[in-house]
Amino acid sequence: MKLLIVESPNKKQTIAKYLGAGWRVEASMGHVCDLPIKEIGVQGPNFKPKYELTERGKRTIQTLLSVAEKAESVYLAMDPDREGEAIAGHIAKYLKGTVGIFHRVIFNEITEKVIKNAVANPRKLDKALFDAQQARRVIDRLVGYQVSPRLSNLAGERLSAGRVQSVAIRLLVERERSIRIFQSTEHLTVRLHFNNESYRWFANWDTTPFLSEDAPYIVDKSLAERIAHIKNVVVLSNDKKTTQRKAPPPFITTTLQKAASIQFGVSAEDTMRLAQTLFEKGLISYHRTDNPNLSKEAIAAIQTELKNLGFGEHIAKSPNMWKAKTGAQEAHEAIRPTEMARVDTGLPIKEQKLYELIRLRALASQLNAACIEVTTIVVAPPDRVHDIGGKTPRFIAKGNKALYQGWRLLIPQDLAIEKEKNDEEPLQGALPNIEPKTALIAHHSEVLELKTQAPKRYSEPALITKLEKEGIGRPSTYAAILSNIKNRGYVVIQSKCFVPTPTAETIYDALMDKFQFMEIEYTRLMESALDDIAGGKQDYLSVVSAVDKSLQESLNTLTLVEAEGKVCPLCAAPMRKIKGMYGEFFGCTKYREGCKGTIAISQDAKQDNPTLLQTIVENPCPKCQKPLRRIKGKNGFFWSCTGYNHGCTVSLDDKKGKPARYYPCPACKNPLRQIKTKGGKYWVCSGYKNGCKQHLEDQRGRPVIKKIPT
């Protein structure tokens, strides 16, 4: 029996059906291990990450071990990207004692032909790809676990910093501030309207000759009205230019996210989730890609389907190809259906609509270019009577006419390229064929009052476009970036656009000009360095150590904001105001050195209330003598030792504002803690995490020993 391990359980049944007898297919359910949550999990000088099995990972590895013992060989068929390579590498590590040789299997689509070909041509695990993913994970951990606490200290509330997330926040905050300081300028122009040869068209005043650096806009209303009195004009030129607009490429990750957002209002995160479902069902090729080109086999299948649909005469003579963006990995082909003739997926409406979008785009990609005729007509007064300062006013009209639809037979113009060119000046329709020197009389004229517009806020598609253009992050990470800044309250959505919150501005002000990862160029170079690790051009240690060195230098520039006149009663260090779960309070700035001094702030009088602190000091922990702190839990207030980070697990009941009597465990001498349940009160040993199973009944306030059966 051969064992094939995939990531998602949704793939198991389909792949098992294709492989047939003699194969067993199991799923890893994603990552089986990760860096620890309660500690940074990596440190110099070797920066070797300390991975731990997740709770789900423990169960998964147990299952895989039991199956792998009976298998003659193991094939690791995780997704064909760095993340998949990391999952494969970790599983190989935990199964190493059971299995001798692992085969790495790569497939870009879940079809019988591709799956059988993949298992027949496996490769070895790629250490360079594994190191590239590990470097990204470790660098993100170094930034998050070292900068976020300092940032939170600085702000007095829990905040997070991220290597790419913080740069996205920078883009949003800087755009918002540019909108605030923007001052709109009212300016004027003139439009002449014509009605001849059954054409209704207009020409706008070319104001360029009348502008200067000191006066970039026309604001003189008398001048505009003087121009508007012009009615008789003569045609100076009528230029026609034929242009071809090539078919848009099939979707890559970013263009799919943008198209789904614009046409269906679906977030990038939801788009990737829906695409994942389509991939796992074997309906589309792999959806995390930056390569806009298709394989020869896919192009042949598209051409066959186009002929069946009656578009044979519009197929491009040679396959359409596109140049990938700078820095693209091009590891996989563009996103396309696995069966071009398939129209209905049988899935819910959202998945079906996304599939149709992908299918039409892939089909249209191999059609001929659309042919457009662009006409430019320039008119001016026939004499120099209307000259102003020796300059003759001119009016320009631009229009276009479709000569050949080509790929637009399948995709309407306004949906073709996700409105990527929506900043271009819109053209009017077809213009009349008027010979030069022809005299014309304007039907009427008008003075147009215009206003300069402030920069637009980023919508989700616009922010994805900006991140991609600047080389910030990778297409597969954009959904997570946008999800993070939304879920953490760093932005709110207004009219489908991101508006940064005051918290986002706090993060920006604290980190900007202090950390290299806030610089766009640095972020772009970091992505390039990770690509170099994947390509074997750089090594893991040199890249990670350089990042950590830069971080350590920058961390010293972040300082705590001290509360004026507040001194810790425990160690005399300055105190700072902290925003906690239950309101604001003052905390000692030396808490990292072990001091747990706090002073409460009255919510009514807004005055210092040292009662809480004094009570903590007067009642030390009966086990380690460190101060106790009063905590509000699910079942009310209780007292917990401030040395819990150092292993002390003392927890005492709260009775009339004082700690309960201290009862030592008869087995291990750790303090007992009283618990209230539906059946009454009882005592358990606070050393239960270390294996002590003592359980004591509560009778008349006196504990009675009772062991819990093991």
Query: For residue range 163-203, what is the model confidence (pLDDT) as tens digits?
Result: 999 999 999 999 999 999 999 999 999 999 999 878 899 99
The per-residue pLDDT for range 521-542, each reduced to its tens digit, is 998 899 899 999 999 999 999 9
pLDDT at 701: 47
Pick from 91, 117, 72, 107: nearest CA to 5: 91
The per-residue pLDDT for range 99-112, each reduced to its tens digit, is 778 999 998 888 89
Q: What percent of the chain has pLDDT over 70?
A: 86
Check if the beta carbon of residue 574 is closer than 8 Å to that of residue 562: yes
Of 229-238, 546-555, 613-622, 676-685, least confident by mean pLDDT is: 613-622
pLDDT at 635: 61
pLDDT at 388: 87
pLDDT at 151: 85
pLDDT at 654: 60
pLDDT at 506: 87
Active site amino acids: 286
pLDDT at 418: 42
Q: Measured between alpha carbons, how far is 98 from 88 in angstroms, rounded to an integer?
A: 15
Residue position matching structure tokens 């590498």: 89
The per-residue pLDDT for range 423-436, each reduced to its tens digit, is 445 568 889 999 99
The per-residue pLDDT for range 551-568, each reduced to its tens digit, is 998 887 776 556 667 888
pLDDT at 604: 41
The per-residue pLDDT for range 409-423, each reduced to its tens digit, is 998 754 444 444 444
Check if the beta carbon of residue 554 is closer than 8 Å to that of residue 515: yes
Check if the beta carbon of residue 596 is closer than 8 Å to that of residue 575: no
pLDDT, average across residues 675-684: 75
The per-residue pLDDT for range 608-648, each reduced to its tens digit, is 444 343 334 445 677 777 777 767 665 666 777 776 666 77
Q: Which residue has the higher pLDDT, 402 or 587?
A: 402
Under CATH, domain 186-246+371-451 is a member of which superfamily? Answer: Topoisomerase I, domain 3 (2.70.20.10)
The per-residue pLDDT for range 37-77, each reduced to its tens digit, is 889 999 989 999 999 999 999 999 999 999 999 898 999 99
Q: Measured between alpha carbons, how far is 171 from 151 in angstroms, rounded to an integer?
A: 19
Under CATH, domain 134-180+457-555 is a member of which superfamily? Answer: Topoisomerase I, domain 2 (1.10.460.10)
Q: Which residue has the higher pLDDT, 303 or 10?
A: 303
CA distances from 6 to 74, 100, 290 (A): 11, 19, 23
Q: Measured between alpha carbons, how far is 163 from 551 in angstroms, rounded to an integer?
A: 11
Which helix (H) or strand (E) segment is 556 a member of?
none
Q: Do 253-368 and 134-180+457-555 fall under one CATH topology? A: no
Q: Measured between alpha carbons, how far is 674 from 649 in angstroms, rounded to an integer?
A: 13
Domains of the chain, residue spans = 2-125, 134-180+457-555, 186-246+371-451, 253-368, 560-616, 619-710
What SS3 class is residue 135? helix
The per-residue pLDDT for range 198-219, each reduced to its tens digit, is 889 999 999 999 999 889 999 9
pLDDT at 674: 74
Q: Please give the single-letter amino acid code of residue 418.
A: E
- pLDDT surpasses 50 at 337: yes
As a whole number, the mean pLDDT across the chain is 85
The per-residue pLDDT for range 146-163, each reduced to its tens digit, is 999 888 877 767 889 999
Strands 73-76 and 2-6: parallel
Kindly indicate the confidence band of residue 318, based on its pLDDT and cuts at 50, 70 and 90: very high
Q: What percent of the chain has pLDDT over 90?
A: 57
Q: Which residue has the higher pLDDT, 697 or 44?
A: 44
CATH number of 2-125: 3.40.50.140
The per-residue pLDDT for range 572-582, each reduced to its tens digit, is 888 877 765 55
pLDDT at 710: 32
Kindly indicate the confidence band of residue 140, based on its pLDDT and cuts at 50, 70 and 90: very high
Check if the beta carbon of residue 642 is closer than 8 Å to that of residue 649: no
Q: Residues with Cβ < 8 Å from 53, sequence gap 6 or more?
A: 32, 33, 61, 94
Strands 199-205 and 186-196: antiparallel
pLDDT at 199: 87
Q: Measured between alpha carbons, how far is 693 from 710 in angstroms, rounded to an integer?
A: 8
Q: Please give the single-letter amino acid code of residue 151.
A: L
Pick from 676, 674, 672: nearest CA to 692: 672
Pick from 497, 503, 502, 469: nearest CA to 482: 497
Under CATH, domain 253-368 is a member of which superfamily? Answer: Topoisomerase I, domain 4 (1.10.290.10)
- pLDDT surpasses 80 at 698: no
